[in-house]
Amino acid sequence: MTSRRPLPPLARGVLKGDRRALARLMSLVENRDAEAGPALAALYPHAGKARVIGITGPLGVGKSSLISGLLAHLRGQGLKVGIVAVDPSSPFSGGSVLGDRIRLDRAPGDQGVFIRSMASRGHAGGIAATTREVVRLLDAFGMDVVIVETVGSGQVDVEIRDVASTSLVVLVPHLGDEVQSLKAGLFEIADVFCVNKSDLPGADGAARYLSEMVALGTDRDGWRPRVVSASAKLPQGIPELWEALAAHETFLDAKGLRAASERCRLGRELVGLVGERVGETLAERLDRDPRVNRLLTELQTRTTDPRAAAEKLYRSFRPES
């Protein structure tokens, strides 16, 4: 039984509120270091209480600025907040520009806040798996709310719905083409829409347009996405934005949907983890396994085709039953 084993020191540190242990463990997770495994396992039973809010939208719409506003609002209510900013910048640039923007606004020395920036590339195991585990660490650390920022602009690195129970899509007035290209996915992602930069002209129109779109669409299990106008700059509309996000969380509980949605996310996580293992094993076999070598030769000599070869290989992977 896992629970009888002595707690790994880093896990013990996280449960005691040691920020350095938390940061260290996050780095191990990001590096896919095997050392993280026992600590993650030991902390898993302690996670599952935090409300996880995903925030996505094109670059520059003000996601980080809104998070700073939400952070102040939530800290004002005494809630502990973890933030994970999945940064689209290259890990080689050394910059965590977006995360830094949040960090600047945070009260120095505030123990109820923990902010982590992650580069969205350069993760052996994939960003979704890493993000999930980092969120889980913040959850086990005792954060009441964990906010995950990702950039959703065509290339969505993290499927935010795989991580968060409530998803916020941030837009700005006059997004034009970007909204068009995002539109198909937008309504499946968003539990709440925020039209940020309401201090700029056109915000009312944009919010009205979105509300009309939402009204025309179908609801999801009885939830119709809310549309909120805000300005992170003024600031204005931040309490209303939080209210809309919290309303979705309340809705999940009231309708008994929380367990089902968690189960769905766990299922996708499981499939992802198994897929990762299978992929690794397969990659190793490319060099060593005589059967794989034979298939490669057949492919090169055009005596089979890639789909047929893949099917054969896939069958050889399936456990005998």
Ligand X SMILES: Nc1nc2c(ncn2[C@@H]2O[C@H](COP(=O)(O)OP(=O)(O)O)[C@@H](O)[C@H]2O)c(=O)[nH]1
- The correct pick among 101, 116, 123, 161 for binding ligand X (CB under 6 A) is 101
Q: Is residue 123 involved in binding Mg ion (CB under 5 A)? A: no
Binding-site partner at residue 75 among ligand X, Mg ion, none, CB < 5 to 8 Å by type? none
Strand partners, 85: 117, 149
Q: Which stretch binds Mg ion (CB under 5 A): 14-22, 41-49, 98-106, 240-248?
A: 98-106
Binding-site partner at residue 46 among ligand X, Mg ion, none, CB < 5 to 8 Å by type? none
Of the pair 63, 161, the CB lying nearest ligand X is at 63
Of the pair 88, 272, the CB lying nearest ligand X is at 88
Contact mark string toward ligand X, 212..231, x via CB under 6 A: -------------------x
Best CA proximity match to 130, nearest among 275, 43, 25, 279: 25
Q: Is residue 156 involved in binding ligand X (CB under 6 A)? A: no
Least distance to Mg ion from the beta carbon of 292, Å? Answer: 43
Binding-site partner at residue 62 among ligand X, Mg ion, none, CB < 5 to 8 Å by type? ligand X
Number of residues counted as binding ligand X (CB under 6 A): 16
- The correct pick among 11, 47, 54, 63 for binding ligand X (CB under 6 A) is 63
Contact mark string toward Mg ion, 29..68, x via CB under 5 A: ----------------------------------xx----
β-strand pairing of 145-149 with 51-56: parallel
Q: Are 149 and 64 in contact (CB under 8 A)?
A: yes
Of the pair 232, 292, the CB lying nearest ligand X is at 232
Report CA dihedral (175, 181, 183, 186) to the nearest 10 degrees: -90
Q: Which residue is nearest to ligand X (CB)?
A: 62
Q: Are 63 and 55 in contact (CB under 8 A)?
A: yes
- CA dist 95 to 4, 119, 147, 217, Å? 42, 9, 20, 40
Q: Is residue 98 involved in binding Mg ion (CB under 5 A)? A: yes
- The correct pick among 12, 174, 233, 258 for binding ligand X (CB under 6 A) is 233
CA angle 69, 71, 75 (to 5 degrees): 125
Binding-site partner at residue 60 among Mg ion, ligand X, none, CB < 5 to 8 Å by type? ligand X
Q: Is residue 196 involved in binding ligand X (CB under 6 A)? A: yes
Q: Is residue 232 involved in binding ligand X (CB under 6 A)? A: yes
Of the pair 32, 233, the CB lying nearest ligand X is at 233
Q: Which residues contact 209 (CB under 8 A, 6 or more apart)?
A: none
Binding-site partner at residue 196 among ligand X, Mg ion, none, CB < 5 to 8 Å by type? ligand X
Least distance to ligand X from the beta carbon of 103, Å? Answer: 12
Binding-site partner at residue 59 among Mg ion, ligand X, none, CB < 5 to 8 Å by type? ligand X
Of the pair 13, 62, the CB lying nearest ligand X is at 62
Q: Residues in the site for ligand X, rule: CB under 6 A?
A: 59-65, 98, 101, 196-197, 199-200, 231-233
Q: Residues in the site for Mg ion, rule: CB under 5 A?
A: 63-64, 98
